[in-house]
């Protein structure tokens, strides 16, 4: 197996004269005499299982009618995005996930893949369409029954019924189970009474609520015959034909936000609003005319999580959209860095291309490796989602794994997007700060991705709890001898940590060999041992610290859990990073072209070593790497960056973006034209014999 820090027969840099204190590296694989990636094959690999749907969406999005116009005010931006939703309807792109009997395609994976591509046009368009069809429409589809589908789905699909998804409240965001809005059943009139009992129970941050929504799927505590049956979803009309609120309904406009200002986010409140009994979306729980409540899921807790689980596609799509937004930012920054020159040695040599600087390679190529990992992990995630929602693999265990995956990957991809877009902005200097080059706009619009559809830290806590539960399953039914062997780390085979993708996590028993392997560059199997071993030990340590909770009072047990919350969230993050690494490795192993396989292998190794460097303190504290050997990780990362530098443009070109998707002047070739013009000017000046003489040369 090739080492991570590959010993190439060719030097990582050319023999051209260094300039400005930085070596002038080969800018292409051909110049370096390196293996080339098969650009089309790598693009197909990145576009994933539903590549055709992505290509179809990208072709549609070449139309300027879908593109964001930066100088629009908030009101104009909102109206433009609404008009774009109608264009999506005309193009038939919003119907894929809906049932065929209503004109849909029952194709959940293709629907999400195409939807994610909207982020390149305008994130406001992506999110507003997600509100309409991915949340409001999906709630009716997934939580309702045929009566509801027949009545409302056609209008939702055609945009005749624009709607809001009224779950979040001012006082409760991620904690949906504790929302304050109530839906009290009145058996005399066979109606539910929707009511907001206090200000904190107002529905808030709702897309389509401020202006365009004429109905909403409202989540409220269902109360019947004096018993609260927990959170359920209700279809509630909001506005009349003139756009005025119906009696008992009020609201406010959230106004200008930090981003996504093409969406009319707003607040809603209800003052004893009556709706028919049949407006309860009753797939998982129903109320008879006399007020009797029934559900085929007897456990209130499981019923609640089952209902919320049907709406997981929001997290799925945010994960993918964040990955492709990162890709777009890196395409812009890398293309610019391959053309922009800055600083010379002061001796008349050419200025240096930004990407020839080692620090610039570190800034962009490490994030490029993470973006590839994020995209490959997302495709596995999307296949899991499609399997559950198509019914091909829809067991309770499959749904639980899907929830775990969503909670593990969405935080990593959205945090990565913010970090990448900010670094890309800085890497482009003042040009990156211009709105026309899109980086600041994308960064602002994606900011909220880290907190909606579940705050990232809250989601990772859910993952951590799953890891602990799966860890505990190892010990169920074991005798004393088996428990002793587990405690000593002598068990054979693998330990399952609730991957949702595969079983993984080989116990690390030979720490010495792993430490020595750094000198050989940390091959793929050794990267995996370090990454999976970290997850296993972190979970094991936390489980040990939480073990006394079983004998404590509820208050004391909660305090003990809270004391370990940060470590649990960090373990969940490590778990998600391992999933990404494994998905990247699966993608590399699927490549048949030798050149592509080698280059992608280097990029995967860069991702793995970057993760190890990121958590180097943990590896040192826990004795997994010596100080000397840990120090070598940074050197190998630098060597990999130099090795990948000639492939940088190919690797971002493989994202498959057309100029209409990029729309950033600094990535259009304009910078190269400026550089060529400057070079021609100085060459002509030198040839003319009239160039001024440098004062420095006169003093030698």
Tokens 């009716």, located at residue: 140
Q: Position of tokens 């990593």? A: 412
In whole angstroms, give the CA distance from residue 631 to residue 605: 17
Residue 551 phi/psi, 5-degree rounding, is: -105, 5
Going by their DSSP bridges, the two strands 227-237 and 249-253 should be labelled as unpaired
Are 125 and 118 a contacting pair, CB within 8 Å?
Answer: yes
Which strand (E) or helix (H) includes residue 369? helix 358-390
Burial of 645 (0-12, 13-18, 19+ CB in 10 A): buried
Q: How many Cβ atoms from other residues are within 10 Å of residue 552's Cβ? A: 12
Tokens of 485: 């062997």
Best CA proximity match to 505, nearest among 492, 491, 490, 495: 495
> What length does the chain have?
700
What are φ and ψ of residue 453, in 5° steps? 60, 30
Instruction: List, in order, residues 6 or more apart from 638 with CB less than 8 Å away.
Output: 358, 362
Residue 356 DSSP symbol: G
Known catalytic residue at 529: no
**Catalytic residue selected from 56, 191, 423, 453:** 453
Q: What is the DSSP letter of 374?
A: H
Specify burial of residue 297 (Cβ count, 10 A radius: 0-12, 13-18, 19+).
Answer: middle
- Of the candidates 674, 22, 20, the residue with the CA atom closest to the CA atom of residue 336: 674
Candidates 459, 621, 610, 609; CA nearest to 538 is 621
Rg (CA), the chain: 28
Cβ atoms of 519 and 629 within 8 Å: the answer is: yes
Contact between residue 307 and residue 238 where contact means Cβ atoms under 8 Å apart: no
Query: For residue 56, what are the contacts with CB-CB under 8 A and spacing of at least 6?
Result: 93, 114
Ranges of beta strands (E only) in 160-300 are 163-166, 182-186, 191-195, 203-206, 215-224, 227-237, 249-253, 266-270, 273-276, 286-287, 293-294
Beta bridge partners of 191: 186, 276
Q: How many Å from the N-terminal Cα to the C-terminal Cα in the chain?
A: 54
- Catalytic residue numbers read 453
């Amino acid at each position: 197996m090739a080492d991570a820090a590959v010993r190439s027969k060719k030097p990582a840099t050319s023999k051209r004269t260094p300039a400005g204190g930085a070596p002038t590296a080969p800018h292409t694989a051909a110049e370096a005499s390196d293996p080339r990636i098969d650009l089309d094959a790598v693009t197909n690999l990145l576009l994933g299982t539903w590549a055709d749907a992505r290509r179809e969406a990208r072709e549609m999005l070449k139309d300027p009618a879908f593109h964001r116009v930066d100088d629009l005010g908030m009101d104009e931006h909102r109206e433009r995005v609404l008009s774009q939703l109608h264009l999506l309807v005309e193009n038939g792109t919003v119907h894929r996930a809906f049932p065929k009997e209503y004109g849909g395609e029952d194709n959940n994976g293709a629907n999400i893949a195409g939807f994610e591509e909207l982020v390149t046009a305008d994130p406001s368009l992506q999110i507003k369409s997600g509100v309409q069809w991915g949340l409001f429409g999906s709630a009716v589809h997934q939580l309702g029954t045929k009566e509801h589908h027949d009545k409302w789905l056609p209008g939702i699909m055609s945009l005749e019924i624009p709607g809001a998804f009224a779950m979040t409240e001012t006082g409760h965001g991620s904690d949906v189970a504790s929302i304050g809005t109530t839906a009290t059943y009145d058996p005399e009139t066979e109606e539910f009474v929707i009511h907001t009992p206090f200000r904190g129970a107002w529905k808030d941050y709702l897309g389509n609520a401020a202006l365009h929504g004429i109905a909403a799927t409202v989540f409220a505590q269902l109360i019947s015959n004096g018993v609260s049956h927990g959170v359920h979803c209700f279809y509630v009309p909001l506005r009349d034909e003139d756009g005025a609120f119906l009696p008992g309904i009020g609201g406010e406009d959230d106004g200008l936000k930090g981003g996504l200002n093409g969406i009319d986010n707003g607040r809603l409140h209800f003052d004893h609003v009556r709706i028919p009994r049949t407006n309860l979306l009753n797939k998982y729980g129903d109320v008879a005319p006399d007020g009797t409540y029934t559900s085929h899921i007897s456990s209130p807790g499981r019923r609640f999580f089952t209902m919320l689980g049907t709406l997981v596609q929001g997290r799925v799509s945010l994960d993918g959209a964040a990955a492709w937004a990162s890709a777009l930012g890196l395409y812009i920054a890398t293309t610019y860095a391959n053309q922009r020159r800055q600083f010379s040695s002061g001796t008349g040599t050419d200025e240096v291309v930004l990407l020839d600087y080692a620090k610039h390679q570190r800034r962009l190529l490490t994030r490029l490796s993470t973006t590839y990992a994020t995209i490959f992990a997302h495709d596995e995630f999307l296949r899991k989602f499609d399997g559950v929602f198509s019914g091909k693999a829809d067991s309770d265990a499959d749904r639980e794994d899907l929830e775990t995956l969503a909670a593990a990957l969405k935080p990593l991809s959205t945090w990565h997007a913010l970090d990448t877009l900010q670094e890309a902005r800085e890497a482009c200097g003042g040009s990156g700060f211009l709105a026309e080059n899109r980086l600041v706009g994308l960064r602002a619009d994606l900011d909220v991705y880290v907190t909606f559809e579940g705050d990232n830290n809250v989601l990772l806590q859910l993952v951590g709890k799953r890891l602990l539960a799966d860890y505990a399953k190892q010990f169920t039914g074991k005798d004393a001898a088996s428990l002793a062997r587990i405690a000593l780390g002598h068990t054979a085979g693998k330990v399952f940590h609730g991957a949702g993708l595969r079983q993984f996590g080989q116990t690390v028993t030979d720490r010495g060999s792993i430490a020595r392997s750094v000198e050989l560059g940390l091959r793929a199997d050794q990267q995996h041992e370090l990454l999976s071993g970290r997850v296993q030990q972190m979970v094991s340590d936390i489980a040990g610290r939480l073990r006394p909770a079983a004998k404590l009072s509820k208050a004391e047990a909660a305090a003990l859990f809270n004391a370990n919350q940060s470590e649990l969230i960090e373990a969940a993050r490590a778990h998600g990073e391992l999933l990404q690494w494994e998905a990247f490795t699966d993608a590399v192993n699927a490549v048949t072209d030798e050149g592509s396989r080698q280059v992608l292998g280097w990029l995967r190794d860069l991702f793995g070593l970057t993760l190890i460097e990121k958590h180097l303190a943990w590896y040192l504290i826990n004795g997994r790497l010596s100080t000397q050997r840990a120090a070598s990780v940074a050197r190998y990362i630098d060597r990999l960056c130099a090795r990948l530098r000639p492939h940088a443009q190919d690797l971002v070109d493989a994202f498959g973006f057309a100029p209409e998707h990029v729309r950033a002047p600094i990535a259009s070739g304009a910078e190269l034209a400026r550089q060529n013009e400057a070079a021609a000017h100085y060459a002509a000046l030198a040839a003319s014999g009239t160039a001024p003489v440098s004062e420095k040369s006169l003093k030698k």
